[in-house]
Amino acid sequence: MGLRKFKPTTPGQRNKIINKFDNITATKPEKSLVVGKKSTGGRNNRGKMTIGYIGGGHKRRYRFIDFKRKKDGVPAVVKSIEYDPNRSARIALLYYADGEKSYILAPNGLQVGTTVMSGPNAAPEIGNTLPLSHIPLGTVIHNIELRPGEGAKLVRSAGAFAQLVSREDNYAIIKMPSCEIRKILSSCKATIGSVSNPDHILEKSGKAGRGRWLGYRPHTRGVAKNPVDHPMGGGEGRASGGHPRSPKGLYSKGLKTRSPKKHSSKYIIEKRKKKK
């Protein structure tokens, strides 16, 4: 796994840094685990634009990812590591011993031919999914459930990982990628290892056209709009702008948006550290 830099033969090539894709072992997805994906263009069911600056882009097919890993005790062999256009991480195609196939998020270091397993009796090795109560303390984990059997919700993007710090009664203490320390039920499952494609954060598109291929349209600054279109719009001379706000009028810098009465606040031991 690595990055590619290009000779500056064009302005777009000058700053482009992309992935080598050297760990990809298959170019076409498994047909039984793929379905067509519709593009909304940021419109709702009435055709009204509810999200701006979205539209176009290349056609995609959605790959069904197994976030629950319910086939406990059934070994599976990694058949291929594949690219997924719907997420930053790589995905792995599993062939189970009973003939079933499924996709999972590929952990960093997972190789084709490796055998993985889920359940309380599985070994704490890369790619295996276990309940938090059976994972050794200090282990690096990802793909973490919030409620037992619901499927993984946390730590799923490229290069992300959390760490199992300790246990307390029926809860496991997890240090999240944001440095937040929180409690999660010990019966929830998590996968051993960190998420694949850690170099994703270092990639640079090099030109606006690559953004258009991904479905991003040109973004207009709020201060360049009229007052009817944006809270920061309008003004004469140097009077435009004001305090940075979102299109709906919420302060975009410094405003705490988390509800103080949120149910899950009691499970947070230490809040995430602010960026300096």
CATH of the domain at 264: 4.10.950.10
How many percent of the chain have pLDDT more than 90? 89
One domain, residues 250 and 193: no
- In tens, the pLDDT along 123-160 reads 999 999 999 999 999 999 999 999 999 999 999 999 99
Determine the average pLDDT of the residues in 25-47: 95
Tell me how many domains the chain contains: 2
Say if residue 56 is in the same domain as residue 146: yes
The answer to the question of residue 216 being in a domain is: no
pLDDT digits (tens, 9 = 90+) for 229-253: 999 999 888 777 888 999 989 998 8
Q: Is residue 81 part of a domain?
A: yes
Is residue 215 included in any domain, yes or no? no
Mean pLDDT of the chain, nearest integer: 94
- Cα of first residue to Cα of last residue in the chain, in angstroms, is 30
pTM of the entire predicted model: 0.90
Question: Quick one: which of 268, 274, 275 has its CA closest to 181?
Answer: 268
The dihedral formed by the CA atoms of 154, 276, 273 and 252, expressed in degrees to the nearest 10: -70
At residue 39, the pLDDT reads 92
Boundaries of domain holding 232: 224-276
Residue 54 maps to a domain:
yes
Residue 206 lies in a domain: no
When pLDDT is averaged across residues 74-100 and rounded to a whole number, the result is 96
